[in-house]
């Protein structure tokens, strides 16, 4: 009888019935939840891998709701899982599958803010001599940063999200300035974004012979170096010997003594003085020649040459000098409309004050005085006791020969004794800066003018 009763009870149970009102749940990358209605006529269970989702409840009797929740998807890939709902009755079972899908975020990385170590101007323009850019990056997935124009950074790939990246920007190699470009890319399976960040770096510098020189565009419309050359041509060595009259390049001069009773200058090998004053060159060296290369026949052939200037630059010409300061020692060269000519300065002169107001860095650096090829020992010029402000005079080399007969002299054998080129000559005591004659063997400062 017991067996018969059990048979009757089992025979009375209905076949398992099971259905779901949704077969697939789709979530975005954020934390979220959704419900699924289960229709069942008996006990049921939910099974599956709960790596990124949670289900509650996971078991029940009869029809009812389950809640499916997902955690935020911070990976670069979409996620998918399949869970099984099973209802059992009469030792039989029915199953349904529920697919859970979650997309990942569309990749995005941005520079939240940045810092620049050295800038010029009010717009965070990178300094021409170089700067460090520090980028503070925020991202929702791993990213890649590519850099163009930096020295310490070409690209960075990270598996992290938020990060700080620093890049060193060297001296600007382009005279007119350049742009430093960063490309920040973040991609996931759902897509991605790329952002470009550009920074301007100021120009106006020349990198030449492992040295950095600054230049300024003056009111004559031309770019002038505002520092003296510190370039040593191949095969040459600066001298500090006044008897080395054919050496062609000398160390800079500094004040030796300057008192109400005496004034003198001396050579200096100190790096700071070389940096501040540059070397002194005879005209043959300045023109890119060797001592002895200038002759009676060819000395007029070098006007406007590059000489020892960087490529694209030249030794100043008479036209450059007159166009800048408006006056030479020849009254026929007077140009009162020159931007740095001051008609009120001692009856009319090129003005140190006007030049320096536009950043020319007009000064005096002395000279090695060698009158002609018969001189065996040079003298040093630059200081006068009447001017207690420091160095009073000197020359900046110019490339235009002044050929009026007396400025081009020969030795008894017809060889070149002296020729004179028009250069710039300061007199700091009276604040003037004019064109003046420079003996070709003198050791003088060199500045360059950019070609048009």
pLDDT value, residue 8: 44
pLDDT at 163 > cutoff 70: yes
pLDDT value, residue 11: 52
Closest by alpha carbon to 379, among 389, 369, 371? 369
Q: Quick one: average pLDDT of 175-180?
A: 90
pLDDT value, residue 61: 95
pLDDT value, residue 5: 44
Q: What is the pLDDT of residues 97-149, one digit of tens each?
A: 999 999 999 999 999 999 999 988 667 789 999 999 999 999 998 999 999 99
Q: Does domain 12-102 have CATH number 2.60.40.10?
A: yes
Q: Quick one: average pLDDT of 279-292?
A: 97
pLDDT value, residue 338: 98
The class of domain 109-203 in CATH terms is: mainly beta
Cis peptide before 223 (omega within 30 of 0): no
pLDDT value, residue 122: 63
Q: What is the pLDDT of residues 345-383, one digit of tens each?
A: 999 999 999 999 999 999 999 999 999 999 999 999 999
Q: What is the pLDDT of residues 313-333, one digit of tens each?
A: 999 999 999 999 999 999 999
Q: What is the pLDDT of residues 221-244, one digit of tens each?
A: 999 999 999 999 999 999 999 999
Q: How much is the mean pLDDT over the chain?
A: 93
pLDDT at 41 > cutoff 90: yes
Name the E strands within 103-210.
109-116, 119-120, 125-126, 131-139, 144-148, 155-157, 163-169, 178-188, 191-201, 205-208
pTM: 0.72
pLDDT at 1 > cutoff 50: no
Q: Do domains 12-102 and 109-203 have the same CATH topology?
A: yes
Domain boundaries, the chain: 12-102, 109-203, 206-450
pLDDT at 6 > cutoff 50: no
Say if residue 66 is exposed, middle or buried (CB neighbours under 10 Å; 0-12, 13-18, 19+).
buried
Q: How many whole angstroms separate alpha carbon 22 and alpha carbon 285? A: 90
Q: Quick one: average pLDDT of 418-439?
A: 97
CB–CB of 164/135 below 8 Å?
yes
CA angle 268, 273, 279 (to 5 degrees): 75
pLDDT value, residue 176: 85
206 or 2: which carries more pLDDT confidence? 206
Task: Match 């059992």 to its residue by tokens.
Answer: 88
pLDDT value, residue 352: 98
Estimate the share of the chain in helix, then strand, then coil, as percent rounded to the nearest 5. Answer: 10, 45, 50
- DSSP per-residue string spanning 291-335: TT---TTTTTS-TT--TTSPTTEEPPPHHHHHHHH--BSSGGG--
pLDDT value, residue 7: 44
As a whole-number percent, the residues of the chain with pLDDT over 70 amount to: 97
């Amino acid at each position: 009888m017991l067996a018969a009763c059990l048979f009757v009870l089992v025979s009375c149970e209905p076949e398992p019935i099971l259905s779901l009102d949704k077969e697939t749940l789709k979530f975005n990358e954020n934390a979220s939840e959704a419900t699924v209605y289960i229709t069942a006529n008996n006990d049921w269970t939910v099974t599956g891998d709960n790596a990124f989702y949670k289900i509650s409840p996971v078991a029940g009797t009869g029809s009812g709701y389950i809640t499916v929740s997902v955690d935020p998807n911070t990976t670069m890939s979409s996620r998918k899982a399949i869970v099984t709902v099973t209802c059992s009755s009469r030792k039989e079972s029915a199953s349904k599958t529920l697919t859970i899908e979650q997309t990942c975020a569309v990749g995005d990385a941005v520079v939240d803010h940045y810092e620049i170590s050295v800038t010029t101007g009010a717009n965070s323009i990178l300094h021409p001599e170089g700067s460090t850019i520090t980028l503070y990056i925020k991202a929702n997935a791993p990213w890649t940063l590519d850099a163009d124009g930096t020295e310490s950074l070409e690209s960075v790939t990270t598996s992290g999200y938020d990060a700080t990246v620093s890049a060193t920007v060297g001296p600007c190699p382009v005279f007119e300035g350049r742009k430093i470009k960063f490309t920040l890319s973040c991609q996931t399976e759902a897509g991605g974004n790329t952002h470009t960040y550009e920074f301007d770096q100021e120009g106006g510098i020349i990198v030449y012979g492992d040295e950095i020189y600054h230049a300024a565009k003056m009111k004559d419309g031309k770019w002038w170096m505002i520092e003296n050359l510190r370039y040593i041509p191949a095969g040459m060595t600066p001298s500090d010997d006044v008897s080395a009259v054919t050496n062609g390049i000398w160390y800079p001069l500094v004040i030796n003594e300057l008192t109400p009773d005496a004034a003198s200058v001396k050579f200096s090998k100190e790096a700071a003085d070389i940096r501040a004053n540059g070397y002194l060159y005879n005209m043959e060296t300045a023109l890119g020649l060797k001592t002895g290369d200038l002759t009676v026949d060819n000395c007029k052939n070098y006007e406007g040459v590059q000489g020892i200037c960087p490529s694209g630059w030249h030794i100043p010409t008479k036209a450059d000098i007159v166009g800048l300061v408006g006056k030479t020692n020849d009254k026929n060269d007077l140009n009162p409309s020159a931007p740095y000519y001051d008609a009120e300065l001692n009856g009319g002169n090129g003005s140190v004050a006007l030049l320096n107001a536009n950043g020319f860095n007009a000064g005096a650096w002395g000279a090695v005085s060698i009158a002609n090829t018969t001189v065996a020992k040079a003298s040093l010029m630059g200081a006068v006791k009447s001017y207690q402000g420091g160095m009073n005079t000197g020359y900046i080399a110019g490339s235009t020969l002044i050929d009026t007969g007396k400025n081009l002299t020969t030795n008894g054998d017809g060889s070149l004794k002296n020729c004179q080129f028009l250069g710039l000559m300061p007199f700091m005591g009276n604040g003037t800066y004019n064109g003046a004659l420079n003996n070709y063997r003198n050791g003088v400062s060199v500045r360059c003018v950019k070609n048009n």
